[in-house]
Each structure stands twice: as structure tokens, then as C-alpha cells.
Amino acid sequence: MPNHTPKYFRSYSPDHRVKFINSATGEDIIDASNDLISLTTNKVYGRCSGTWQLMLTYKTVTGANGKLGRYDELIMPDDMITIELDAGDGNGMKAVMLGLVDRVSEVFQGGINPQRQIKISGQDMGKLLSRHDVGWDIAAYNKGINALQTTESGDSDTKKIDMQLNRQFDVSLTVKTAPDLIDKLFQKTFLDVLPKWASMFKLNITTKDDWILWNPAIVTLKGCTVWAMLTKCMHEPFNTLSTETLDTKSFQVTLEEQPIDDNGQLKRDSSRKHTIFESDIISDDVGVSDAERINFIFYQPQNYLMGAGMTVDVAMAHPDLIQYYEPSIETHGYCPKTVQDDFVPPNTTTLGPVKVANTWFDDARKMKDLLWSWYQFNHTYKSGTFHVHLRPDIKAGDGLIHNNGTEKKKEYFIEQVVNQYTVWPQAQFITTLSVTRGQDYVG
């Protein structure tokens, strides 16, 4: 983590590096760094893909292969891009986006000083996860074709021939833990099918969750993207899925426990907590709001839903599965949150009628208590935005510590990071941090 110390005045010398690569061949197309006018990157924790946009000068340039043309002639949709930023604080370049081009266009603005520029926009590598449909398996289909050809040639007549193009899932995948499911499905439906990208994508599973998904519907994922499939299996909200650029050649998918402990505090190690001082802040707007006030929790585990014949409603809630704060309800009305859970405890052997004596009730109570600890003080947590000098080292999902010079530091969870880097007409280098769960720092 960069060593930022409080100062009244600090000078910066930001820098950048933007390169385009041909996705089909892996060859460099062009380094566009010298022609950059402005760029913006945007990443939200828990979303499949971040976005980026940049403006380049309108002129003829020479590509890496010697080809001449404007940027809109050299760069095509789905070409790769690497974006690196240097805050100018002595910590060097940081990769903020490894992504793919969505659109290339010419932009003209008339007036006293008419201008023409090239605008290029796209997403990070999560674009593949949000687009790739897991319902089809061309590799298995081709294998069936080869087997058929072998049989017809007379070399063999014992091979089993499967000519179905739609993917056939193993039914055993319907009863597994979130870590096991996501590990196997990511390999089977993405890495094995798109081996060209396999070396670039990393899967990082840190949760120890041993609850089991009890959902036979997972065998019918036709028309489902890989990201939609993974989110079905992550055991939300107890686990979260996120993606992030690691460097100019690596993109990571992470399955982790909700980064909040049972006291409602942020659960991040020191490498993922960043301190900002008053001298770092350009402007901020943080405060409390009751927009997310929750005073009634109803937890619905799969056991309870099945045992109640799938007709459960709040009025039928078992007392062990609800938590509420009556004084708040009397003042603000019912502000409920219902959490339905497709996962069951590891010792579950049947989804038959629910009995209070069943041991899974103990597990269900723990989950309900955990949810209550996360949400009961929502209305007291500060949220909002900090606009700070460029900080490419900060990632969505990190923690933020605001040291305002007093003994009471504040801790926040960073939901979103936007980097705005402008070279012309007026230099501007800003990182906007959208934060939630602001409370006293106790670390």
C-alpha cells in the first residue's frame, strides 16, 4: 500500500500508458499513449464488468505493424486494451483496466473552434463472462462428429455418439457447495470452451462456505451466461462474486465471504485498506440516510420453503427465522428485508417437513443473526462520495480509512471507483470513490 502521509500541499506528476492488442493474433496494434486526450474507467464491486472510455486525436498514425491509418481505422470491436495510470507519487504505473473494445467512432463538435476526435469505449474482460452463453458446447458436438465419422469408416462401432449441441450437465452438480460448484462450472463452461482466454483468467476462491445448493433447476441453463450461472451458485448474500484487473495480462474472478464481520465492521486485511488525509481530498459528500433502513429481517432457508410447501409469507414466519426492532417499527413502520436461500446446511439429508427439533434450525438461526448484524444499523452508516487526487492503486471492494486529523478515524467500504484522467484542454486527474458503511474505525 502506498505510503501517503498528511501534508498541506503535495505535488503530482501523473502519467499513463494505453495500448491496443489484436485479440485474434495477440499482436500489438498501437501504443496510443501520446495521442490521449482523456480517459475514464469505472468499476463497481460485485458487477461482472467495468467500463472505460477514451478520446484520442484525429490524425493518421503508424501502427505497430507499420500500417498507416486513423485510430478508428486501425482498431476494431473486441480488440484488447490495457490501461495503466501513474499517480505521480513515486509508486509507478498501476494497471486499472484490461478490457475489450465495444465501439469506435468519430466525434465532431462544431462552433468557434470545431474539433474532431476519435472516441473508443468498452468493458473490462468481464465482458466475456456477461456475453458467453453456457448452454452450448461445440467441443462436445465436434467430438460426436468425429466419433460418427470413425464409426462410418468402419474403424469402430462401439463409440457412444452424442450429437447434441446444447450442453448436457451432470445432475450431480445440483448438490454441491458454492466453492465446488463455481470451481467446476467455471472450468467446464468457460475455460475449457474458450482455451484462448484460459491463461488470462484467474479464479480466486477464498470462502470456506460448506452449505450445499439444493436446486435441480441448475441442469437447465440454456440461454444463461456464465456470469448469470455463477451468481446462481455463489450463495448470496453470504458470499459475493467480483472481478478485477490484476495486471496487463491477468483478470481475476473472486468468490469470497461477504467482507463484513458479525459486528458489522469491514473485514479486509491491511493490503486492502487505504488511508486518505484531508490534503488528498478535492471534495466530498458523505452522510447518513434512512433510504436503506431495515428493522425487520426474515430469513427463508430452502428447508423451510420446501417444508412449508413453497407457500411461505411473512405472516407465517417462524420466530427462529425473524428478527426485528419494535421501537423502530413503531416510529418508521415495517422496513423488512427477506432473504431466500437456495442452500442448505451440510448435514441436510432431506427437504421434508420442518420440525423445530431439526438440527438445521441451529444453523438457520446463525444465518439470521448474521444478517441482522449486517443490516440493523444501515441507517446509521455514512455513505456518499470522495473526490481525491488520482489513486489508481485503489480497487472497488477495498476499505477506506479517512484520517481527518482527529482521534476518530472513519472506515468505509468502497463500492465503486471511477478514474478520470484528462490531458487537454485542462489537465485533471481525479479518482471518485463511492463509499458505504461509514462508521468509526476500530482497527
- In a 13 Å sphere around the CA of 323, the CA atoms on its Cβ side amount to 17
Domains of the chain by start residue, with CATH: 15-130+381-440 (2.30.300.10), 133-168 (no CATH), 170-258 (3.55.50), 296-379 (no CATH)
State the DSSP string of 176-199: -BHHHHHHHHHIIIIITT-HHHHT
Q: How far apart are CA 342 and CA 174, in angstroms?
A: 11
pLDDT tens digit string along 328-362?
A: 999 999 999 999 898 888 877 655 444 444 567 78
Q: How far apart are CA 98 and CA 248, in angstroms?
A: 6
Q: In this predicted structure, what is the pLDDT of residue 223?
A: 78
Q: How far apart are CA 116 and CA 108, in angstroms?
A: 4
- β-bridge partners, 340: 300
Q: In this predicted structure, what is the pLDDT of residue 353?
A: 47
> Is residue 330 within a helix (H) or strand (E), and if so which, with residue range?
helix 326-332
Percent of the chain's residues with pLDDT above 90: 65
Q: What b/e sequence results for 174-209 when a residue is b if at least 16 CB atoms lie within 10 Å of its CB, and e otherwise?
A: bebbbbbbbbebbebbbeebeeeeeebbeeebebeb
Using the structure block, give the residue that is written with the C-alpha cell 437447465.
Answer: 220
Q: How far apart are CA 209 and CA 397, in angstroms?
A: 20
Q: Residue 261 corresponds to which cell in the numbers above?
A: 464481520
pLDDT band at residue 382 using 50, 70 and 90 as cut-offs: very high
Q: In this predicted structure, what is the pLDDT of residue 315?
A: 47
Q: In this predicted structure, what is the pLDDT of residue 330?
A: 96
> Is residue 324 within a helix (H) or strand (E), and if so which, with residue range?
strand 322-324
Which letter does DSSP use for residue 440 in this model? E
- β-bridge partners, 98: 82
216-220: average pLDDT: 63
Q: Residue 73 pLDDT more than 50? A: yes
Q: Residue 90 pLDDT more than 90? A: no
Q: Residue 65 corresponds to which cell in the numbers above?
A: 505493424
